[in-house]
Amino acid sequence: MVANRLQLSGHVCTAVVRKTSPSGIPHCQFVLEHESMQREAGITRLAVCRIPVIISGHEHQLITQHITVGKQLLLEGFVHSHKAKTGQSKLVLHAEQIELIDSGD
């Protein structure tokens, strides 16, 4: 099997959209923004990215009810290419493990 795993932390930076598919599967969609300092070629640099996230399935419904704009999360899942309405492809993180991070507030 070919590896396709991504673990990423960050905060929810867009409105959370909750939908149910025609087959009855609940989906939660939002964009996660990540920011960290990473070391590359002996130099420390700021790494910033935004990635669309989809969390699907009944087993995640309870935790996704707590996901709101600004919430800090640690997500793990696989990436998949989705075609936007414009025809352009974008990578989407399909999260399978979700951890809410306490911001200390």
Which DSSP symbol is given to 14? S
Residue of 28, 36, 29 lying closest to 8 (CA atoms): 36
Q: Which residues of the chain have pLDDT under 50?
A: none
Residue 40 pLDDT: 95
Tell me which amino acid residue 54 is. Answer: I
> Which H or E run includes 62?
helix 61-64
Contact in structure between 63 and 22 (CB atoms under 8 Å):
no
Domain 6-94 carries which CATH code? 2.40.50.140
Residue 22 pLDDT: 96
Residue 105 pLDDT: 53
Q: For 18-70, where are the alpha helices, taking DSSP H only?
A: 61-64
Which DSSP symbol is given to 13? -
Contact in structure between 47 and 38 (CB atoms under 8 Å):
yes
